[in-house]
């Protein structure tokens, strides 16, 4: 949809007025989380663009703490599901229970019926249980028995997983991985940040209280504004070129990548790349997307959507290397 300069100016004003809750949330999160700004920013992008987020990293990097703290800053319902090998699908979505005294069945809803779902260590459970989330993540509804139940907005699955090299983990089914808007790899803090973490956790003081500083209506208004952010046709073509280069690298002067890529990004990659770029523009108080917004979120959108061949593994080429090469070669508008 074409927008005039005046439309974009008015949208900029609306965004400037609506974005205030982001700094309030960041201030609250800074009470308990040191550093990890990229992870927090990605969680906010997921929240603003209605996309689920998968955080991967070794234990102890504040993944669970960040998700729990974010949910506490917003007036919403929060639910945590600890994934274990003996978990059942009914433990996630709920089940039909027989009431003997009334001689009838009734529905006992599971922890999925909340606004923020923390799926902790999601790859500790087998595929059958992980797949119980598929309908909720895609359709925003859950079917128990013969009845489908709509989930309340905002609805966000924020999952953590351990690197698959660790013992007792199961790879997530490809169909489920693709439903996560972003896969964010969480790294270790810097030496200075870790020193602050040590001090914060060994001073013997009571834990800081996270206050709810944003309302559901503010989040829903922001999500609506994110959808209105302008994406020029040249930027749209840039998004398409990046995604199509993962499928047909030889058409983009990347023939050397062809034997390394088993499969490329699905249309969800293109959709989510555009949505995440819009949300990133919103966080930067802009009513339009620039190519740098797309580049900034590309790795998180694509790293779980590109399949590598055995040849890539033999040559020690990882997904990050492939995305970097694509971003380097594809023409920027």
Domains of the chain, with CATH numbers? 21-203+210-218 (3.40.50.300), 230-329 (1.10.8.80)
| Residue 171: count of CB within 10 angstroms of its CB | 11
What pLDDT, on a 0 to 100 scale, did the predictor assign at position 2? 55
What pLDDT, on a 0 to 100 scale, did the predictor assign at position 1? 52
What pLDDT, on a 0 to 100 scale, did the predictor assign at position 102? 78
> What span, in angstroms and rounded, lies between the C-alpha atoms of 32 and 27?
10
- Please provide the average confidence, as pLDDT, over all residues in the chain: 86
Task: Kindly report whether the global pTM for this prediction surpasses the value 0.85.
Answer: yes
- Which range, 75-84, 165-174, 258-267, 294-303, has the best average confidence (pLDDT)? 294-303
What pLDDT, on a 0 to 100 scale, did the predictor assign at position 270? 94
Under 8 Å between Cβ of 264 and 247? yes
**For residues 97-116, average pLDDT:** 84
Q: Is the pLDDT of residue 136 over 70?
A: yes
**For residues 69-90, average pLDDT:** 87
What pLDDT, on a 0 to 100 scale, did the predictor assign at position 299? 93
**For residues 231-235, average pLDDT:** 92
Number of helices (H) and strands (E) in the chain: give both, helices first.
Answer: 15, 11
What pLDDT, on a 0 to 100 scale, did the predictor assign at position 77? 85
| Residue 158: count of CB within 10 angstroms of its CB | 25
Name the pLDDT band for 166 (thresholds 50, 70, 90). low
What pLDDT, on a 0 to 100 scale, did the predictor assign at position 242? 95
What pLDDT, on a 0 to 100 scale, did the predictor assign at position 96? 83
Of residues 173 and 262, more confidently modeled: 262
Strand-pair partners of 329: none
Q: Is the pLDDT of residue 324 over 60?
A: yes
> What span, in angstroms and rounded, lies between the C-alpha atoms of 42 and 112?
22
> What span, in angstroms and rounded, lies between the C-alpha atoms of 272 and 221?
19
What pLDDT, on a 0 to 100 scale, did the predictor assign at position 204? 63
The alpha carbon dihedral of 152, 126, 306, 297 has a sign of: positive
What pLDDT, on a 0 to 100 scale, did the predictor assign at position 209? 82
What pLDDT, on a 0 to 100 scale, did the predictor assign at position 198? 83
Name the pLDDT band for 33 (thresholds 50, 70, 90). confident
What pLDDT, on a 0 to 100 scale, did the predictor assign at position 165? 58
Judging by DSSP bridges, how do beta strands 116-120 and 147-150 pair with one another?
Answer: unpaired
Q: Is the pLDDT of residue 50 over 60?
A: yes
Of residues 165 and 91, more confidently modeled: 91
Task: Quote the percentage of the chain above a pLDDT of 90.
Answer: 25
Judging by DSSP bridges, how do beta strands 94-99 and 104-109 pair with one another?
Answer: antiparallel
> What span, in angstroms and rounded, lies between the C-alpha atoms of 322 and 324?
5
Strand-pair partners of 96: 107
Name the pLDDT band for 208 (thresholds 50, 70, 90). confident
Q: Is the pLDDT of residue 278 over 90?
A: yes
> What span, in angstroms and rounded, lies between the C-alpha atoms of 186 and 56?
6
Which CA distances in Å does 69 have to 30, 32, 212?
10, 8, 10
Q: Is the pLDDT of residue 177 over 70?
A: yes
What pLDDT, on a 0 to 100 scale, did the predictor assign at position 124? 85
Name the pLDDT band for 189 (thresholds 50, 70, 90). confident
């Amino acid at each position: 949809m074409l927008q005039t300069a005046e439309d974009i100016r008015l949208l900029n004003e609306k965004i400037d007025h609506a974005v205030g809750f982001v700094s309030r949330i960041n201030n609250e999160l800074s009470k308990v989380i040191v550093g990890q700004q990229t992870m927090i920013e990605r969680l906010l992008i997921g929240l603003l663009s209605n996309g689920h987020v998968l955080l991967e990293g070794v234990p102890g990097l504040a993944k669970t703490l960040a998700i729990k703290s974010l949910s506490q800053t917003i007036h919403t319902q929060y639910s945590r599901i600890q994934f274990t090998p003996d978990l059942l699908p009914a433990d996630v979505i709920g089940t039909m229970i027989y009431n003997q005294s009334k001689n009838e069945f009734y529905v006992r809803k599971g922890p999925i019926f909340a606004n923020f779902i923390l799926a902790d260590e999601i790859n500790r459970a087998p595929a059958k249980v992980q797949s119980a989330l598929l309908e909720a993540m895609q359709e925003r509804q859950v079917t128990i028995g013969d009845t489908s139940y709509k989930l309340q907005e905002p609805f966000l699955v924020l999952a953590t997983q351990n690197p698959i090299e660790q013992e007792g983990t199961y790879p997530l089914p490809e169909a489920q991985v693709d439903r996560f808007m972003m896969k964010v790899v969480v790294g270790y803090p810097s030496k200075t940040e870790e020193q602050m973490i040590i001090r914060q956790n060994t001073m013997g003081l009571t834990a800081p209280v996270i206050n709810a500083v944003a309302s559901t209506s503010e989040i829903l208004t922001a999500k609506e504004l994110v959808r209105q952010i302008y994406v020029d046709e040249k930027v749209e073509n840039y998004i398409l070129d990046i995604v199509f280069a993962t499928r047909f690298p030889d058409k983009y002067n990347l023939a050397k990548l062809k034997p390394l890529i088993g499969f490329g990004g699905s249309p969800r990659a293109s959709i989510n790349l555009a949505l995440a770029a819009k949300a990133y523009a919103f966080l930067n108080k802009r009513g339009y997307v620039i190519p740098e917004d797309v580049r900034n979120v590309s790795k998180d959108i694509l790293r779980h959507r590109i399949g590598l061949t055995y040849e890539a593994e033999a040559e020690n080429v990882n997904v990050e290397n492939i995305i970097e090469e694509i971003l380097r070669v594809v023409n920027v508008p």
